[in-house]
Each structure stands twice: as structure tokens, then as C-alpha cells.
Amino acid sequence: MTARHLPARAAALLAAVLVASCGGGGSPGDTPTQFTPPPVAPVSGPDKFLMFPNPQVQDSGVVQTTVDDYANAYYRAIDPNNERDTLAKWKVKNGFETGTGQEITVVFGDQRDLGYGRRMNARRNPDGTLAFYVENYLVRTGADYAYSNLNLEAAIVRDPSRFIGVNAIEFSPGPNGGVAFAKWYNFSSTTGIRATQVDLDGRGTKAMPGPCITCHGGRGDALTPPDATGKPRFNLVRFSESKSRGDVEGHMHPFEPDVFGFSDRAGFTRSEQEAAIKIINKWILCTYPLPTASTAPEDQCRRPASPSEWQGTAASLIKAYYGGDGLPDATFKDEYVPTGWVTAGQSTLYENVVKPSCRTCHIMRGSGGNSDLDFDSYEKFRAFNDRVKVHVQERGNMPLAKIVYDAFYVAGAPGPNSVATFLAAQGHASRDAAGAPLLPGRPIARLGPTRVVAPGSTTLISSDSVFASTYQWSVVSGNATLANPTTASPTFTAAAPGTYVVRLVITGNNLTSAPAQQTIVVQEGLPVAPANIRFSHIKEILQTAGCTNCHAPDGQLPRPPLFYSNIDRNDDGIVGDATDDLWFYAEVRSRVNFTEPSASALLRKPSGNHHGGLLQPGFAVDAEAGSGARARYETFYNWIANGAPYQ
């Protein structure tokens, strides 16, 4: 039985919540807190929770990370001979119950995430590899996601009637050896067979490892086109130390017993399990790369970090939990506020928002060349203020896990007010007329930047808008026409060069949006008409605009995760052929966000939101329309607006 056949919201608990889960919050105890969260988009299949903000939407409209092909490609990459396709086989491969190495079992209740009772079995092998599997128990009392001591008791006695599934993490080299990396599995509670699909919160099945790596720092790139066997391959993160497909650059979270539930039964109290939990946290610390040399004994098991990869940011948490270098404290205590938040005078914002709702996932994110996403300082968080506004107050897809989202918005929780105060200080409208923090659910019309197009017809897009059920477009300046003005993507037609303005008003959730306007500049003599832009034009810019100074195997350090130079992408011994070009296209298309086009990494990063804040030539989005200062941005945006076609 796969996880898709389990009752809604009781599918096998993901490895994403195996080691601390995605986010925080929640209310311990037997009685769940009752509340009505802000409205979210109607569910018609897998939705935004536990999905990357940049979902891999294919030409067919299918989100690739929700289909079996995605999981199958992942397991072909990390377990090509199916040596781990059942729990029994997985345990054998990882040396459980062999009498070698060191094994630890801890049992606790999941108070802040999904409410399960968990029996965790952890193992460190003589070669330093790690493996964890957890049995999950749920006693249904009519309220999903509510923690109950009954769940903990079921885990203690291993009640088979309450056993709902097993998840597992393995930290080991890939099939070809080399550097160890984390891998994620889920196994059926009845058959022990490895699951490809899991439904964590009743909001649609999603393919492994997506629901795990959204919170564990991994990348959600698209699959390659089919290889010589006719099957797609899992993405290869080019700067990874393992150089292995399936290494998604995800990492393991520290254990946080302050938010666990413990029993008063002998053998299962917190005090009796505290030492074992500390050992597990020391093991997890060993998986983090070490950016600078250290004499601390707990760091001697860590390999040196490459300049390009994630720098082991979460090590600061584990060290602070146990008193700093040397880990002198026997018991866990979480009073950690990073120095960059303290010196900025923003400890309260950290405690109210980042620590309970952002830290667990974000501290696993980033790379040596782009560490801002770890939110380890106030300035890093502040640099994303525009995205905080969009994700938290408008789209409502952060916090990214449903249970953490609900806890963030529970009545009386400080998060929404703290975010509103923060956003107001950054110049954003963040409160309603009564002074209450704005909540997601209201329709917002948004049309993106000024577009430069050729005379004739152009398809407009409204994908940046949120919570829309009806559309009403109009031309407010210039002699142009709109076909299908009550659809999401009408056709704009202007025969003569000039500057035109269109307007959009949407409705949704019984509300009407403020109007949004977009300027459209019609020009003759464009090098390539927007409707004719193809990947070849994008590739030419990527390879001539200086991008390959870093985006290449020999690029300057730290290198980005994708390479834009001509390389042998499909490993057939031929460099830069038509197949490599098609695979290159798939990688670049992964950087396009069709849900929110203006947020595409392919647009934002060269526009000054990366590269040390440096603006790349031709990507000045605020420059005069049609000028050379924004010509490359216009080419990229028009390509995306046209569906990012290959040819």
C-alpha cells in the first residue's frame, strides 16, 4: 500500500518532519487550539504547501514534482539497483541490527508539527555514515494535526493498530562512491514497500523527495529530457561535492527536544533520553560541511566545505544548544539569537517570526555564493522584504508547511503583527484601514513590468495576480484592442508604435481588487519580435553576457549550481550537441516561475537580487523601456510570457 492509499492527513510521515520538520509553532497538550486560518486558494489537486514557490509546471500544465516520474527518477539516481525499495532491504544496507556501529532509539511526541508519536531509530556506522528510520503512530480523536499523549503512548507500546508508516533518512555516498549526502525514503506501514507519493496534509499527493527537500534545503529542479533508455534523469546540482544525481543539496535538521512531548513512564522521560538526543545531534553536526578550520572536538568529523556549497550554517544552532564549542552542556536549551539579529536590535522579530516559522527550513538553504536565504542575520532577512510581503501577506504560501502556516495565524500569535511592523518599516502597506495586519486571501491584480513588443498582437499575462476568479481587462491609453478581455490572458493588438496602458481588475473570495496597470511600449525594428524569441536567444545571452565567468566548470569561485557553458550534460562523450542543448534548456527552464513570472530566478538574480547585489548589464528593469540598459531583461521576460518555448 502506497502513501496515497492511507487516510487523508495520515500518510507516512515525511523525512521532512523526521528531524525537526519544516518550521515550528503549534500548541502542546491534549486539547487542540481552535481557530479559523486566513483563506487560502481552493484546492483542486496538489496546492502550495510543501511545494517549492517555483513549481515545475510543464507545457501540459502538470506540476512535475507531483508525478511518479519524479520520484522514480530520484530513486533510479540514488538506488539504481533497488537495493532499498523495502524497509527490510534498506535496514540491511544500512547495517541495522548487525552488532556493529552504534544504534540509539528515542521515543517522543511531535507536539508542533503533525502530532504523531515517534519511535526513532538512529545508527552511526563504523565508516561514519548515518541512517535514521522512524515509526509513526496516530490515535485519531477527530482532530488531525493535534498533539495527543495517546500518540506518544502508542509509539511507546508500538500499537500496531495506530502504526501509520515509516520514514527514513540515509547519509551516505551515492552509488558511485565519493562524498556522502542525505537521501529520503518513505515506507508503507503494511507492506514495507518504498512509497513514491505521499500526502502529508490532505491537500494532494506529491512525489518524493519534493515534500522533504522543500524544508531540508534541497533544490526542486526539473527532470532532464529522456535519456538513451527513454527515461528522464534526476537533476544534477553542478557544484555539488558528490557530483551525483540525486544529491539535492538537502541537509538534516537538529533535534529540538524543547518542542517534543515526553512520557513520564520509566525509560521514556526526557531526562532519561536527553543524553541519547545529544549524541544524535552530534552525529547530525558531523554531516555539516566545515567552512573554516576548527579545533573543537565535535568538528573533527566534518569535511571541509567547498566555497560553492552550503556552509553548514545550522552548526551554530547545535553548538548554542549545548553551550558552544566543546558542547559542554548535558541538556538541550534553545535561547539562541544570531549575533546579526542582536546587533540590529531585532531579537523580537527573530523570536516571534523567524525562530518558530522560518528558521528550521531557511537555515538549511543557500550556498557559498548566495547565503542570504539562511536568514542568519537581520540584513539577510531584510533583503527579502519584498518577497516576505508577497509570500506571507499576499500569496499565503509561507510558512510553507500547512501546520506551521496555521500556527503562524492562530489567534493571538505574534507573527502576523511582527511581520506587518517589519514590512511597514520597509515602506510596504502592511495593515488594513483598522490597523490589523493584512492577511492572504484578498484578490490582488498584478501585471508585471513594462513590456516592449512589436506592432501586431501580443498575449498578455496576469500570472502574478493572486486569488482571482474573474478578470476584466481594458485599454486606458492608446488606440489598441483587447480580445477575450475577461480571461487571464487576453490578446493585445496595436498596429502603430507608441506607448499604451492596459488595466486589470480581478475578483475573488467575494472581493474586488484594486486596479493594476501595465505600460506596453510598441516598437518597430526590434532585433527579434517577442513572439519569436526562442531558447537559442536566451542561450546566446547566457553565454555572451558574462554569466559563464561563474556559471561554468572552470568559473570563478564560488560557482553557482547551474552551468551555462557548453558541457556534456547527458554524459554521452559529446560536448554541446543537440541533446546537450535540450538538456540545457530543461535546466534553464527550471529557473522560470510560471506561477509568478516576475519572481523567476532567471529575471531576479541578474537584476540585482544576487551577484553580491550587482546589476548585470542589460537587466535594469527600472530603466527606460526599450533602452539597452534593460534590453536583456525584456528579452527574458517576453520569452517567459510566451511560455519559454524551446523552438
556-604 pLDDT per residue, tens: 999 999 999 999 999 999 999 999 999 999 999 999 999 899 999 999 9
Q: Which residue has the higher pLDDT, 26 or 84?
A: 84
Q: What is the pLDDT of residues 113-144, one digit of tens each?
A: 777 899 999 999 999 999 999 998 988 765 45
Contact 592, 602 (CB under 8 A): yes
Calculate the CA dihedral of residues 635, 639, 641, 644 and round it to 10 degrees.
-160
Cβ–Cβ contacts within 10 Å for residue 324, how many?
12
106: three-class secondary structure by DSSP: strand
* Residue 33 identity (one-letter amino acid): T
Q: What does the alpha-carbon distance between residue 259 and residue 113 come to, in Å, rounded to a whole number?
A: 10
Please state the separation of Cα 642 from the chain's center in Å.
26
Per-residue confidence band for 610, with pLDDT thresholds at 50, 70 and 90 = confident
pLDDT of residue 502: 98
CB 574 within 8 A of CB 566: no
Pairwise pLDDT comparison (259 vs 632), residue with the higher score = 632
Q: Given the C-alpha cell 566545515, which residue does it identify?
A: 290
Q: What is the pLDDT, as a whole number, of residue 30?
A: 32
* Distance of alpha carbon 234 from alpha carbon 133, whole angstroms: 24
414 vs 202, higher pLDDT: 414
Quick one: how far is CA 14 from the chain centroid? Answer: 15
Which of 489, 510, 530 lies closest to 636, judged by CA? Answer: 530
pLDDT at 26 over 50: no
451-522: CATH topology: Immunoglobulin-like (2.60.40)
| Domain layout of the chain by residue ranges | 3-16+51-253, 275-333, 337-440, 451-522, 530-641
| Average pLDDT value for residue range 473-498 | 97
Q: How many residues appear in the chain?
A: 647
Contact in structure between 619 and 521 (CB atoms under 8 Å): no
Report the run of H or E that residue 635 belongs to, with start and end: helix 631-641
Average pLDDT value for residue range 418-440: 97
Summarize pLDDT for 135-189 with one digit per residue, the tens.
989 887 654 556 789 999 999 999 999 998 899 999 999 999 999 999 999 999 9
Strand, coil or helix: 597: helix
Percent of the chain with pLDDT over 70: 91
Distance from C-alpha of 461 to C-alpha of 55, rounded to nearest angstrom: 18
Q: Is the pLDDT of residue 31 over 80?
A: no
DSSP letter assigned to residue 644: -
Residue 45 banded pLDDT, cuts 50, 70, 90: very low
pLDDT range class, residue 404, cuts 50, 70, 90? confident
Amino acid at site 325: D
What residues pair up with 493 in beta bridges, in sequence order? 457, 481
pLDDT at 480: 97
DSSP for 393-408?
Answer: IIS---SSSHHHHHHH
201-230 as b/e, with b when 16 or more CB fall inside 10 Å? bebbbbbbbbbbbbbbbbbbbbbbeeeeee
The pLDDT score that the predictor gives to residue 201 is 67
- The alpha helices in 255-352, defined as continuous H runs, are 270-286, 315-321, 339-342, 347-349
Please check the confidence at residue 75 and state whether its pLDDT lies above 70.
Answer: yes
Instruction: Confirm if 393 and 17 have CB atoms less than 8 A apart.
Output: no
Per the CB < 8 A criterion, the answer to whether 355 and 367 are in contact is no
Strand 117-124 relative to strand 451-453: parallel, antiparallel, unpaired? unpaired
- Report d(CA 170, CA 342) in Å as an integer: 36
User: In 425-454, which positions are buried (b, 16+ CB within 10 angstroms) versus exposed (e)?
Assistant: eeebebbeeeeebbbbbbbbbbbbbbbbbb
Q: Is the pLDDT of residue 460 over 70?
A: yes
CA 242 to chain CA centroid, Å, is 21
Q: What is the separation of C-alpha 404 from the centre of its chain, rounded to a whole number of angstroms?
A: 14
Grid cell for residue 54:
517555483
> Over the stretch 553-564, which tens digit does the pLDDT of each residue have?
999 999 999 999
Residue 544, CA atoms < 13 Å, CB-side half-sphere: 8
Q: Pinpoint the alpha helices (H) of 350-462.
A: 359-362, 378-382, 385-388, 402-409, 415-425
Reply yes or no on whether the pLDDT at 349 is more than 70: yes
The answer on pLDDT for 2 being more than 50 is no
Using an 8 Å Cβ cutoff, are 250 and 217 in contact?
yes
Residue 55 pLDDT class (50, 70, 90 cuts): confident
Spatial distance between the Cα atoms of 588 and 590, rounded to a whole number of angstroms: 5
- For residue 52, the model assigns a pLDDT of 85
**Identity at 260, one-letter amino acid code:** F
pLDDT at 520 over 80: yes
Say if residue 21's pLDDT is above 60: no
Reply yes or no on whether the pLDDT at 36 is more than 50: no
Average the pLDDT over 355-374 and give the result.
Answer: 94
**Burial 96-121, CB ≥16 within 10 A → b, else e:** beeeebebbebbbbbbbbbbbbbbbb
> For residues 593 and 222, is the Cβ–Cβ distance under 8 A?
no
